[in-house]
Amino acid sequence: MRIKRVLPFALAMLFIGTIFGWSYFRDAKPSPYKTARVTVGDIASSVAATGTLNAVVTVQVGSQVSGNIKALYADFNTRVAKGQLVAVIDPELFQARVNQARANLDAARASLLNAQAGAVKAQADISSANASRENVRAQLAKAGADVRDADAKLKRRLMLFDQGLLSKEDTDTAQAAYDADAATVQAVEAQLKSADDSVKAAEAQHDVSLAQVDSMSAQVRQSQAALAQAELDLQHTEIRAPVEVTVIARHMDVGQTVAASVGMGRREYHRPNQLSGGQQQRVAIARAIVNNPQIILADEPTGALDSRTSLEIMAIFQQLNRERSITIVLVTHEPDIAQCANRVIQFRDGVVVFDERVHKPRRAAEELNQTPQGSLDTTLASSERMPA
């Protein structure tokens, strides 16, 4: 009896399970994977490659200032983030320049205050000279009145003397008084002329004081610019990654002297005979600016170079002069190269022929950007092939 009661319930559960199973597996997709035993088979095809793996984009991080490497914070295969410090150039020399620039700025400001005080004093001197001149004019007016009064008295006494009513002594006294007053007028007129000259001198001194104020103001601005440049150079002693990269090469060590970039690329380990004439000139420039000089003497730096390379060298010189205030004294026989300078002095047989400023110097960098690569060189080569 018990089995009869359980059997219908078991059949019902089996039927329900069958319905649910069919609905679940009806929409199931076949598996895309197959499993198989790994066995050794014949090689259908093979691919081989040789060479060196290179980065898709390579960024060369250089130095904008020259000096000795004090510390390195990145090496080969180091992952660095954008703006991360990777190297430090010894900042002591650059900090000293900042301090010197600040001292020069303070001195320029003090000179400006002194010039401004001189201008105020000159203005006060003008007022004082004007007051003195007005005082002399008042004295001249009084002396004129005195001489007119003396003249009238003299005429009356002479008339009375002619009538026999006065003695000769009285007329002589009146004449002496008139002459004294007339002399006083002449003396006061001379004083008035001197007072006029004093006013003009005070006004001229005031103009000089104003010019000194303008000059000292320009000196202050120049000192401010020099301080800003010195502070910028100090900031550039910290070399930071321009982008997020992985370091694939390092060409400097602690204690090594590095020069600011002069466009030499990856030629740090090239020998002189492996460099072109223009590259050798860039090396000479790099050596010249290592110790941050105030002046560079360049003797015919473009004499053996083609036209485009000459412009590249002149662009470097102009950049050094513009950004680092380095004076460039360059000797050349090429008039077009001389036009890149701000001032040209021409010699002939050891005598200065002329000395003049160039109002619109050639901008070498701009001309390079506007000139297609190789066009200048091609022109030079074609001129060399022309028959004599």
Q: Which amino acid is at 69?
A: I
Instruction: Note the pTM of the prediction, 2 decimals.
Output: 0.54
Q: What angle do CA 238, 239, 241 make, to 5 degrees?
A: 135
- Tell me, what's the pLDDT at 370? 72
Helices (H), the chain: 2-26, 92-162, 168-235, 277-289, 307-324, 335-338, 364-370, 375-385
- Tell me, what's the pLDDT at 267? 60
Q: What is the CATH number of domain 260-385?
A: 3.40.50.300
Name 356's bridge partners. Answer: 344
Phi-psi category of residue 298: left, alpha or beta, with phi > 0 → left and psi -120 to 50 → alpha: beta
Q: Tell me if 178 sits within 8 A of 154, measured CB to CB.
A: yes
Tens-binned pLDDT, residue by residue, of the chain (388 aa):
555 566 666 677 777 777 666 666 565 556 666 777 878 777 777 777 777 777 777 777 777 777 788 888 888 888 888 888 988 988 888 899 899 999 999 999 999 999 999 999 999 999 998 998 889 888 888 888 888 888 888 788 788 777 777 777 878 887 888 888 888 888 888 888 888 898 899 899 999 999 999 999 999 998 998 898 889 888 888 888 888 888 877 777 777 666 555 555 556 666 777 777 777 877 787 777 767 788 989 888 888 788 888 888 888 888 888 877 889 999 998 999 999 999 999 998 889 998 999 888 988 888 877 765 544 433 333 233 333 3
CATH 3.40.50.300 spans which residues of the chain? 260-385
Q: Which amino acid is at 388?
A: A
Q: What angle do CA 119, 120, 121 make, to 5 degrees?
A: 90
Options 1.10.287.620, 3.40.50.2000, 3.30.565.10, 3.40.50.300; CATH of 93-235: 1.10.287.620
CATH 1.10.287.620 spans which residues of the chain? 93-235
What is d(CA 177, CA 149) in angstroms, rounded to the nearest whole number?
10
